[in-house]
């Protein structure tokens, strides 16, 4: 009975995996899951490739499309939310990549939480047409994106140097968040590209630990422009350092994390 249950659990996987054919004609390189902020935009890094024997030609006119929820759009025509041919444009999306060079990078603007869904990319390069059914993109639109504080060491000792960083996911590179924290005023914000083509904004500071850092409170805030810059939305993360000293005066620092997320609108 246990073996049967295991087999059933394998068979009844998500519809996407169950429907993924071994001979898929189109695949894309893009994040599998990506978070976005409501009121802001989302840049989706995307490149596609076809099977070597497929008749895709960069000299022919190429159109790209995004389909939501279910890639079988023949039965659900409303699931096609954009086609670069101009025939469909239901969502504020624009394919900015050069499709003839197999670049399907897309800009998703004016996001709202109801845009949270699974999306599929499709190419139309007549007579070649295909949907990347095995590479769904899950977009989760949230009302708040919290920054993350990272300490370069876990067990810290007095007189040791430690690098503390705060980072925030940057779904809209055109409107990056501004990071501020309690360690220093006006820290320099660095924007870094991740391996999957998305971006992160980061600040960091290196300090030398002393007994004065017992109970040291660190707070970091990420302020995102939203609604085309008319408003901002802020989320904060907090960390507290505590120290325990032995009779040998060797102090081991223990990091206890307390994260508080909140929105402040202005």
Q: What is the Cα–Cα distance from 17 to 168, expressed in whole angstroms?
A: 31
Determine the distance from the C-alpha atom of residue 145 to the mean position of all C-alpha atoms in its chain, rounded to a whole number: 10
This prediction has a pTM of 0.82
The confidence score (pLDDT) of residue 245 equals 54
Q: What is the Cα–Cα distance from 84 to 99, expressed in whole angstroms?
A: 10
pLDDT per position as a tens digit, 174-200: 999 999 999 989 999 999 999 999 999
C-beta neighbour count of 112 within 10 angstroms = 12
Stretch 11-18: mean pLDDT: 42
Three-state secondary-structure class, residue 213:
helix
Q: Please, what is the average pLDDT of the chain?
A: 84
Q: What is the Cα–Cα distance from 143 to 188, expressed in whole angstroms?
A: 26
CB 251 within 8 A of CB 158: yes
Domain extent listing, the chain: 13-142, 148-265
pLDDT of 130 > 60? The answer is yes
CA angle 116, 117, 120 (to 5 degrees): 140
Give, in words, the CATH class of 13-142. mainly beta
If pLDDT is split at 50, 70 and 90, which confidence band does 80 have? very high
The confidence score (pLDDT) of residue 188 equals 96
Three-state secondary-structure class, residue 212:
helix
pLDDT of 7 > 60? The answer is no
19 membership: H or E segment, kind and range: helix 15-19
Specify the length of the chain in residues.
266
Long-range contacts of 95-104 (CB under 8 A, 24+ apart): 95/64, 97/46, 97/47, 99/62, 99/63, 99/64, 99/123, 100/58, 100/59, 100/62, 101/58, 102/47, 102/48, 102/49, 102/58, 103/46, 103/47, 104/28, 104/30, 104/46, 104/47, 104/48, 104/64
The confidence score (pLDDT) of residue 53 equals 64
Fold of 148-265: Immunoglobulin-like (2.60.40)
The confidence score (pLDDT) of residue 65 equals 97
Q: What is the Cα–Cα distance from 232 to 263, expressed in whole angstroms?
A: 9
pLDDT of 34 > 70? The answer is yes
Stretch 220-227: mean pLDDT: 97
Stretch 43-66: mean pLDDT: 91
- For 75-119, the DSSP string reads T-GGGEEEETTTTEE-SSEEE-S-GGGTB--EEE-S--GGG-EEE
Residue 45 token pair: 């890094």
């Amino acid at each position: 009975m246990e073996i049967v249950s295991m087999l059933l659990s394998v068979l009844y996987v998500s519809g996407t995996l169950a429907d993924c054919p071994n001979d898929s004609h189109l695949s894309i390189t893009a994040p599998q899951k990506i978070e976005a902020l409501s009121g802001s935009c989302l840049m989706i890094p995307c490149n596609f490739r076809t099977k070597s024997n497929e008749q895709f030609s960069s000299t022919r006119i190429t159109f790209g499309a995004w389909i939501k929820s279910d890639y079988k759009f023949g039965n659900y025509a409303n699931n096609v939310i954009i086609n670069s041919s101009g025939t469909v444009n239901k969502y504020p999306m624009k394919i900015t990549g050069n499709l003839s060079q197999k670049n399907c990078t897309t800009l998703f603007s004016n996001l709202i939480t109801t845009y949270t869904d699974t999306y599929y990319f499709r190419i139309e390069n007549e007579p070649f047409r295909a949907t990347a059914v095995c590479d769904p993109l899950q977009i989760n639109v949230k009302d708040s994106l919290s920054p993350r504080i990272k300490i370069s060491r876990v067990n810290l000792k007095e007189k040791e140097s430690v690098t503390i960083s705060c980072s925030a996911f940057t779904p809209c590179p055109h409107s990056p968040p501004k990071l501020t924290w309690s360690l220093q005023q006006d820290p320099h914000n660095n924007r870094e590209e991740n391996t999957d083509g998305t971006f992160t904004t980061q600040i960091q500071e290196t300090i030398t630990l002393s007994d004065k850092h017992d109970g040291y409170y660190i707070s970091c805030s990420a302020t995102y422009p939203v609604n085309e810059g008319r408003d901002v939305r802020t989320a904060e993360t907090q960390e507290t350092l505590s120290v325990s000293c032995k009779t040998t005066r060797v102090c081991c620092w223990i990091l206890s994390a307390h994260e508080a997320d909140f929105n402040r609108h202005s």
